[in-house]
Amino acid sequence: MSARPGVRRTAHRGLLVRTGVVALVGLLTISPLYWMVAVAFSTRSELLGGRELRLWPREVTLENVERVFASFPVAAWFGNSVAISLVVMILSVTTSLLAGYAFSQLRFPGSTALFFVALATLVLPVQVIMVALFRIVTDMGLYGTYWAVILPTAASAFGLFLARQFMTGIPRELIEAARLDGAGHLTTFLRIVLPLSKPLIAVLAFMSLLSSWNDFAWPLIALKENRLFTLPIGLLYLQGQSGSDYGATMAFALINIVPIAVVFLLFQRYFIAGFARSGIK
Amino acid sequence: MSFPSFSRRSFLIGTGVVAVPVVLAGCGFTQQSSPEGRQGTLTFTTWGTDAELAGFRSAIAAFEAANEGSTIELNAVPYEQMFTNIDAQLQAGNPPDVFRVPYYTFGAYAGREQLLDLGPLLSAEREEQFTPQAWAAVQSAGSTYGLPHHTDTSAILINRDLFAAAGITEIPETIEDAWTWEELAEIGDRLKAGLPSGTSPWAYNWQGNGVTRWLSLLFQSDGAFLDTDQVTPLIDSDAGREAVEFAASFFSQGYVPANNTIASASYASESWFSQSVAMVWSGAFQIPDAESTASFDWTATCAPRNVRGGGDFGGNALVATAQTQQPELAAAFLEFVTDADPMRDFCRGASLLPTRADLLNDDLEFDVRSELAPIFAAQAGVVQPQDVAQVASPSMSAIIPVLKEQLDLAFAGSQDAATTVANLQSGIAAATGA
Amino acid sequence: MRSPTPRRPGRRREALAAYGFIAPNYALLLVFVLVPLVGALVVSLQRTDGFGAGEFAGLENYARLGSDTLFWRALGNTVLFTLIVTPVSMLFGLVAATLLNTALPARPLFRSLLILPMAVSGVATALIGVLVFDQNSGVLNKLLGTFGLPAITWQSDAGPAFLSIVLVTVWWRTGFNMLIYLAGLQGIGPDLHEAARLDGAGTLQRFRHVTVPLLGPTTFFLTVLNVIYSFQVFDIVFVLTGGGPAGATSVLVTYAYETGFVTRDQGYAAAIGMILFLFALVFAAAQWRASRTKDVAE
């Protein structure tokens, strides 16, 4: 047992070191984002000139942001992104909760095989199935509507994975008690399991929102016209045939990131609590 | 630890915040009535800079005014994935009626019967109105499958200030005075000696699909990469080796920055704007940008010549899809847009070169730095039809990756010109199925 | 937890209910993932450019893969990429989570900073990467210049190009790993640490013998996800290096994409996709089987 003052000094030094390390890591992490913001508000000539490193722009300008808003229907695209992401979120959360419950608490033949199939779909990148999927979407008459993006995006096993992981942690006794009281499976799910799963719902909601908000490869193909496009597609417009307009590109990236970052920061305590509670152990 | 709960007020606020954008949205939850097949309506998909799109819009407005009851719906999409989308749409059976396509991609669609044969639909005199090289660019299997809308070819943009710093003041002003390859190498050496450190003599614009601009060097040596059958490779020749050696020397002699490779993520023009290089190969479309952004005194001169002058035939054609339900209307629209006045206005505003013989002359004007137009016009004039016809091959899309791979290896110094050219020969043969 | 009682009559009802519960999710998966997957499999057995019907070619595309150096390089790069990025980003995530699990000033601020990269899309991340890593005018080389260090050829040399992709991906993925580890750490009771400390274990020893083993399930979960993601990497490579220089950073998905949409050899591209799928599947299945035994750890 060491002397008291010694312990406190060591603890104090430890705190300094830890804070220093975290601060350094935080700085490293945030600097690319800082750079994005700096470029978004720099003039074109500033971006092209100079071999020395300038830590902030000589002249802060809104011209890139103005150019972006003038050249593209940003408000409409923003609306499209919101509409699509919200519906994907609702669909994805609902289907994942239902399926996760089944896999974690119910017994049924073929459950292992079916779970394996779901796992298989997770490893498949969209580029491999793009053309075949497009044909299906067209045959179903979805092409040219939001549903061409919403349905394939909501078709994911990631939420199922997460939900199952969480729901395995729900005490069996609670469920058994409800069943003994005569509750049907659906009632048990709605009355007992769902209220206990609020953290999980928060996590599922956020993850599906995030992935659908940033998705661009599939929406570009599936949304026929300019007026239906989502925000991330806009970034591609700025990668022209002839070279990049970095100022406008970063301004646009900023417009794309800010909403989701705001949602993220405002609601992060729900997500953190959610991740902690999701029993991902 | 209780789960943080929502207050009713924040819920209502949240709903409000969400509802506004949804109302702004283009309401894409239901099918809007589809324009395809509607009598008198064409869908036209294209990418473009602001100037190009403006040019298209005014041409469309004029066409609609002159043709009562017709509507052209312009759909502007990003260039990067445009052709992935067109492919998917063609395969699923609902492509646009009309779209814009680079000449080096034209063959991929024409050769696979995806385009409307315009031969029977065009007026008889249409062919003579275009330059021979432009006409050659839209031919496939003996018929015409598109109309050449504009072209662009690479000349050289020069940073006069940097040239003066290296003591070079004489810059060729006509195509006849253009540097030979030896003279260009001399200029390169003088620049290397006289430029500030960290600056290179030039950058070449062969990034990405721009690899076709290397072909300019091949043509300048009077070489070819395909025979007139568009299948037999011809690149394994002295001209081929010479063109590869010369291009590779840009790297081994330090004439270009080390990252001026084909696979580079940054375009050559960027290093010119940032004054890392004294000159850059570039098309005329760069002129408006250069004028507004370059903080130095600059001008243009013609590309070098070896055995002859030669250049790539860049630019885009307008085509109609074979599946269109309005073939006559599509053909009429294409003819209208390539008439003299619409083409002149488009090219002047977008700083591109026309494909009509009556426009590609000394009267050519640009909105910006019009005194440089004759340089680019002259450069376009030395492009030979037989050079262009090779690019129109249906296998061009498959040939481009072969070029990219082998040339990058040659530039990295990993293989010599003879091996590169031999690999190109077999790679091109594999691509065309020779 | 097998029930010793004989077959319950409610079993069938339970099974039916279960099928009903999974039906919505699986209906979506069936129509929008599994059916196209079968479609891609069929195309991989054809010689086609996508337009019009292809001709049946059996296993010809797969046979071609064997001698295709570009394919093997893409495969090698993908494996190397996965082998580096997965442990590195997970380690960084673990360290960050451990630090954030202790008392620190402004902890929520730091936490927000470290997970913010997650909110950025892959394309935007890669574009920021272009700004930072451009070897002529990028931020990083300018920074090296101010310290008198030589500029690194991030685009024209294979090693640095590969490193640039790794660095960008680690920057992007660490936040997610940290988040999951943080949750896992908070699930480890403080009494276990107390007991270990009383036994005289130092910080590092406690970390090695208490924390890491109890994080086993979390680690397996993250390993599966990170490997899956690494095999599928596309946006970052496509935008940042385009697979260059000379294919040094080409990965399976970029190669498949170029083959399918640039060269338009759709049958071959589908075959590449199938191989990718198989590899990732085998790995994920193996990991899953291994982790199932750890699933029941408390």
In tens, the pLDDT along B240-269 reads 999 999 999 999 999 999 889 887 767 898
Inspect the interface and report whether the beta carbons of C156 and B397 lie closer than 8 Å.
Answer: no
Does the residue B8 lie in any domain? no
B265 in C contact zone (CB under 8 Å): yes
B413 in C contact zone (CB under 8 Å): no
Question: For testing the chain B interface, which of C42, C43, C48, C51 should be mutated: the one with the most B CBs within 10 Å?
Answer: C51
What average pLDDT does the segment A167-174 reach?
A: 81
A22, A114, A235 ranked by CB distance to C124: nearest:
A235
What is the pLDDT, as a whole number, of residue B8? 57
Inspect the interface and report whether the beta carbons of C245 and B263 lie closer than 8 Å.
Answer: yes
What is the pLDDT, as a whole number, of residue A1? 46
Amino acid identity, position C134: D
Inspect the interface and report whether the beta carbons of C121 and A214 lie closer than 8 Å.
Answer: yes
> Which residues, 6 or more positions from A253, have their beta carbon under 8 angstroms from its beta carbon?
A36, A40, A235, C120, C121, C124, C127, C128
Inspect the interface and report whether the beta carbons of C121 and A36 lie closer than 8 Å.
Answer: no
B274 in A contact zone (CB under 8 Å): yes
Is the per-residue pLDDT at B6 higher than 50? Answer: no
Residue linked to tokens 């568009």 = B230
Neighbours of B328 (CB within 10 A): 9
Spell out which residues of chain B touch residue A221, defining contact as CB-CB under 8 Å: 81, 84-85, 88
How many B×C Cβ pairs under 8 Å?
Answer: 87
Is the per-residue pLDDT at B329 higher than 90? Answer: yes
Q: Could you say which residues from 39 to 58 on chain B have a Cβ atom under 8 Å away from some Cβ of chain A? A: 47, 49-50
- ipTM value: 0.84
Question: For testing the chain A interface, which of C21, C234, C298 should be mutated: the one with the most A CBs within 10 Å?
Answer: C21
Residue linked to tokens 């629209």 = B333
Inspect the interface and report whether the beta carbons of B92 and A143 lie closer than 8 Å.
Answer: yes
What is the pLDDT, as a whole number, of residue C48? 82
Q: Which fold has domain C69-295?
A: MetI-like fold (1.10.3720)
Does the residue B298 lie in any domain? yes
So where are chain C's domains?
69-295
Q: How confident is the model at residue B290 (pLDDT cuts 50, 70, 90)?
A: confident
C14, C28, C131 ranked by CB distance to A95: nearest:
C28
Is the per-residue pLDDT at B35 higher than 60? Answer: no
Phi, psi angle pair for B140, to nearest 5° = -150, 130
> What is the C-alpha to C-alpha distance for residues B287 and B350, in angstroms, rounded to an integer?
9
The CA distances from residue B20 to A75, A230, B15, in Å, are 10, 16, 9
Inspect the interface and report whether the beta carbons of A235 and C19 lie closer than 8 Å.
Answer: no
Inspect the interface and report whether the beta carbons of A125 and C36 lie closer than 8 Å.
Answer: no
Does the residue B177 lie in any domain? yes
Is the per-residue pLDDT at A35 higher than 80? Answer: yes
Do B222 and B242 lie in one domain? The reply is: yes
H-helix or E-strand containing B159?
strand B155-159
Q: Which of B154-163, B213-222, C50-59 shows the lowest per-residue confidence on average (mean pLDDT)?
A: C50-59
Q: What is the DSSP string of B31-84?
A: PPPP-TT-TTEEEEEE---HHHHHHHHHHHHHHHHHSTT-EEEEEE--STTHHH
What average pLDDT does the segment B315-321 reach?
A: 95
B320 pairs with which residues across the strands? B98
Spell out which residues of chain B touch residue A203, defining contact as CB-CB under 8 Å: none
For B96, the domain range is 41-151+314-376
Nearest to B426 by CA among B234, B257, B244: B234
Question: For testing the chain A interface, which of B5, B22, B161 should be mutated: the one with the most A CBs within 10 Å?
Answer: B22
Spell out which residues of chain A touch residue C99, defining contact as CB-CB under 8 Å: 18, 21-22
Evaluate the omega torsion of the peptide bond into residue C245 and state whether it is cis, within 30 degrees of 0.
yes
**Tally: H helices and E strands in chain C:** 15, 2
State the CATH number of the domain containing residue B135: 3.40.190.10
C138 in Cβ contact with A56 (< 8 Å): no
A273 in B contact zone (CB under 8 Å): yes
Predicted TM-score of the model (pTM): 0.81
Does the residue B273 lie in any domain? yes
Percent of chain B at pLDDT > 70 equals 91
Helices A111-122 + C266-295 axis angle, to 10 = 130
What average pLDDT does the segment B340-369 reach?
A: 90
Inspect the interface and report whether the beta carbons of C116 and A119 lie closer than 8 Å.
Answer: no
Inspect the interface and report whether the beta carbons of B47 and A45 lie closer than 8 Å.
Answer: no
> What is the C-alpha to C-alpha distance for residues B235 and C150, in angstroms, rounded to an integer?
40
> What is the C-alpha to C-alpha distance for residues C120 and A206, in angstroms, rounded to an integer?
14
So where are chain A's domains?
4-40, 73-277
Amino acid identity, position C29: L
- Please tell me whether residue A193 adopts helix, strand or coil conformation: helix
Query: Domain tally for chain B?
Result: 2
Locate the DSSP E strands across chain C.
Answer: 46-47, 55-56
What is the pLDDT, as a whole number, of residue B30? 73
> What is the C-alpha to C-alpha distance for residues B343 and B130, in angstroms, rounded to an integer?
12
Inspect the interface and report whether the beta carbons of B208 and C130 lie closer than 8 Å.
Answer: no
pLDDT tens-digit profile, chain C (298 residues): 555 555 566 788 888 888 999 999 999 999 999 999 998 899 889 888 777 777 888 888 899 888 888 899 999 999 999 999 999 999 999 988 888 888 788 888 888 888 889 888 888 898 889 888 887 778 888 888 888 888 888 877 788 999 999 999 999 999 889 888 887 787 676 677 777 777 777 777 777 777 778 788 778 878 888 988 898 888 888 888 877 776 789 999 889 888 887 777 888 888 998 998 888 788 877 877 776 655 443 3
- Please tell me whether residue B277 adopts helix, strand or coil conformation: strand
Q: Which CATH superfamily is domain A73-277 in?
A: MetI-like (1.10.3720.10)
> What is the C-alpha to C-alpha distance for residues C125 and C168, in angstroms, rounded to an integer?
7
Joined together, the tokens standing for residue A42 give 């720099």
Does the residue B10 lie in any domain? no
DSSP 8-state secondary structure symbol assigned to residue B299: E
Do B283 and B232 lie in one domain? The reply is: yes
Inspect the interface and report whether the beta carbons of A83 and B21 lie closer than 8 Å.
Answer: yes
B18 in A contact zone (CB under 8 Å): yes
Is the per-residue pLDDT at B96 higher than 80? Answer: yes
Largest alpha-carbon pair distance within chain B? 84
Do B166 and B51 lie in one domain? The reply is: no
Spell out which residues of chain A touch residue C146, defining contact as CB-CB under 8 Å: 52-53
pLDDT tens-digit series, residues B392-401: 888 888 898 8
Inspect the interface and report whether the beta carbons of B75 and A44 lie closer than 8 Å.
Answer: no
Inspect the interface and report whether the beta carbons of A83 and B75 lie closer than 8 Å.
Answer: no
* For B77, nearest residue in chain A (alpha carbons): A226
Do B372 and B294 lie in one domain? The reply is: no
CA distance B311 to chain C (A): 24
Do B145 and B76 lie in one domain? The reply is: yes
Does the residue B280 lie in any domain? yes
Termini Cα distance of chain A: 34
CA distance B419 to chain A (A): 31
Do B46 and B122 lie in one domain? The reply is: yes
Do B301 and B409 lie in one domain? The reply is: yes
> How big is chain C, counted in residues?
298
**Pairing outcome for strands B98-102 and B314-320:** antiparallel
